[in-house]
Amino acid sequence: MSEYRTDHIDKDEGFLYVDYWKTANDNEEGKVIAKIDIHNLEVLYEDETHKNNPRTQAIINDAIEELKTMEFEVMTDICYDCGKVQRHGTMKDINEDGFDIFCDDCFYKHQYKKETKQ
């Protein structure tokens, strides 16, 4: 009998992991078959073969319903230039500018300005 677990949440990465074992054997190595984003509830499949499996979908749907009842602190960064908000740690830091952080668009704009001034 196969086994599913949805008890591991990585708050730093922002995912709940859906783990799967083919049997109930404790010596068997399980694998992550899907991740659920704890903020927007998007399901990202690591193993596409489980995408249309009714039992897997029921497990995932139950996990999503449980996540809806939970609250998570969301760490974000704000682009110094345009004000865009992104998940913490995903923006680029320009150390010469006093540790200002920029989204990708603004970072490349500032890099271009720096290169053309030289």
Q: Do 96 and 118 contact (CB within 8 A), yes or no? A: no
66-92 pLDDT tens trace: 999 988 777 778 888 888 888 777 777
The pLDDT of residue 73 is 74
pLDDT at 118: 56
The b-or-e profile of 33-49 (16+ CB within 10 A means b, else e) is bbbbebeeeebeeeeee
- The domain spans of the chain are 3-68, 76-117
- Asked whether the beta carbons of 51 and 39 are under 8 A apart, the reply is no
Q: Which residues contact 74 (CB under 8 A, 6 or more apart)?
A: 14, 39, 87
Checking if the pLDDT of 99 tops 70, the result is no
Which token pair is 61? 């749907």
